Structure 1
Amino acid sequence: MTMSLINTEIKPFSATAFQNGQFIPVSEADLKGKWSVFFFYPADFTFVCPTELGDLADHYAEFQKLGVEVYGVSTDTHFTHKAWHDTSETIGKIKYPLVGDPTQAISRNFGVLIEEAGLAERGTFVIDPAGRIQIIEINAGGVGRNAEELLRKIKAAQYVASHPGEVCPAKWQEGEATLAPSLDLVGKI
């Protein structure tokens, strides 16, 4: 039986990422104090992956306005991330860190490693400033994700975190009504 990672603290890790022409160290300490997205994908130089990473790149400024750092993670090395960045127009526009996980430790820690392939599932994890996982989404390999939907979910998670006692209903958009769970609401929704 698999335990849910929701509300669990991320495990310690140490990795190297490629960002803005440089190799940078990344660890769990870098995530503390701000919202983060770990966006796992199977491999560089593939088909669905660049469409997803490009979609995130197109919306990166919106993530930044929300105080969210995005980390793209695959089991490739940071050297491979640089080569892909330098040769793909789509990947070349990425400003967020692309984390190398060649030891597969990070993918394993988040429960998205496909052991027999040595690749990560399409897993998305939203991590709060305390380092706790608030949102998990895992898609089958052929199903790409949507940055706009991820932004909506992050806004909802941030709203709930800053408004104790309120929850966001399905399809909630910023500025819409929320719910305050109570005995009076039972059976009324």
Structure 2
Amino acid sequence: MGIIGSQLKPFSATAFQAGKDFFQVTDEDVRGKWAVFFFYPADFTFVCPTELEDLGEHYDMLQKLGVEVYAVSTDTHFSHKAWHDTSEKIGKLNFPFLGDQNHNLATNFDVLREGAGLADRATFVIDPDGVIQLVEQTCEGVGRNANELVRKIRAAQYVRNNPGQVCPAAWEEGEETLAPSLDLVGKI
């Protein structure tokens, strides 16, 4: 079975978040709301801080959409705090960073690079029922775009809230959607 449509697997991870003590996050904490798991290879690297900064610039908007963001790497929560305290870009971020040094999350999401101990660059969007709705995975050198992530989340939320409707390519909130039917076959 593919990962889209599958359930979030049980996990427990120690998190770092600016202004808070270390705390535990589990799969139960995620249920009942939308969530983004934003995997990146490692702290103190190159493409990762640019992606995380871009995501951070959209964090308030995602919060307004009812979405919590979890940045995840196979580093420890201590490493996440040290990176936050020493990097200008990372120091601005307010979402939780999950430590995955035991590789539980990277294994659950099937993004662990065998033999390397690092996670692939991958994004997962989980709905309030704990179902994986969206996945994006790129190679090491290709960063992600938070604008596109927000667009996809809005589309996923629209489809969830409007059964029988689908969002066509490049759909933006407020634009026309489609109601799949025999009448549309061959006419789009």
TM range (shorter): over 0.9
Deviations 1:99-120 (A, max 9, x none): 0000001101001000110000
Map of 1:106 onto structure 2: 105
In the alignment, the residues of structure 2 paired with residue 13 and residue 115 of structure 1 have an alpha-carbon distance, to the nearest angstrom, of: 20
Alignment of 1:133-172 (within 5 A): 133-172=132-171
In the alignment, the residues of structure 1 paired with residue 61 and residue 2 of structure 2 have an alpha-carbon distance, to the nearest angstrom, of: 29
Map of 1:39 onto structure 2: 38
TM-score by length of 1: 0.98
Say yes or no: does 1:179 pair with 2:181: no
Count of aligned positions: 187
Deviations 1:119-171 (A, max 9, x none): 00011000000000000011001000000000000000000000000000000
In the alignment, the residues of structure 2 paired with residue 126 and residue 142 of structure 1 have an alpha-carbon distance, to the nearest angstrom, of: 22
Superposition CA RMSD, Å: 0.6
In the alignment, the residues of structure 1 paired with residue 133 and residue 123 of structure 2 have an alpha-carbon distance, to the nearest angstrom, of: 11
Alignment of 1:29-68 (within 5 A): 29-68=28-67
Say yes or no: does 1:17 pair with 2:20: no
TM-score by length of 2: 0.98
User: How far 1:84 sits from its partner (Å)?
Assistant: 0.1
User: How far 1:40 sits from its partner (Å)?
Assistant: 0.2
Deviates most, 164-173 or 23-32? 23-32
Q: Which runs of 5+ in 2 are unaligned?
A: none
User: How far 1:24 sits from its partner (Å)?
Assistant: 1.2
In the alignment, the residues of structure 2 paired with residue 4 and residue 173 of structure 1 have an alpha-carbon distance, to the nearest angstrom, of: 27
In the alignment, the residues of structure 1 paired with residue 12 and residue 76 of structure 2 have an alpha-carbon distance, to the nearest angstrom, of: 13
In the alignment, the residues of structure 1 paired with residue 85 and residue 117 of structure 2 have an alpha-carbon distance, to the nearest angstrom, of: 24
In the alignment, the residues of structure 2 paired with residue 14 and residue 28 of structure 1 have an alpha-carbon distance, to the nearest angstrom, of: 7
Alignment of 1:74-93 (within 5 A): 74-93=73-92
In the alignment, the residues of structure 2 paired with residue 115 and residue 31 of structure 1 have an alpha-carbon distance, to the nearest angstrom, of: 27
Give the secondary structure class of the aligned counterpart of 1:63.
helix
Give the secondary structure class of the aligned counterpart of 2:22.
strand
Identity %: 68
In the alignment, the residues of structure 1 paired with residue 116 and residue 34 of structure 2 have an alpha-carbon distance, to the nearest angstrom, of: 30
Q: Which runs of 5+ in 1 are unaligned?
A: none
User: How far 1:54 sits from its partner (Å)?
Assistant: 0.5
In the alignment, the residues of structure 2 paired with residue 23 and residue 57 of structure 1 have an alpha-carbon distance, to the nearest angstrom, of: 20
AA aligned opposite 2:136: E
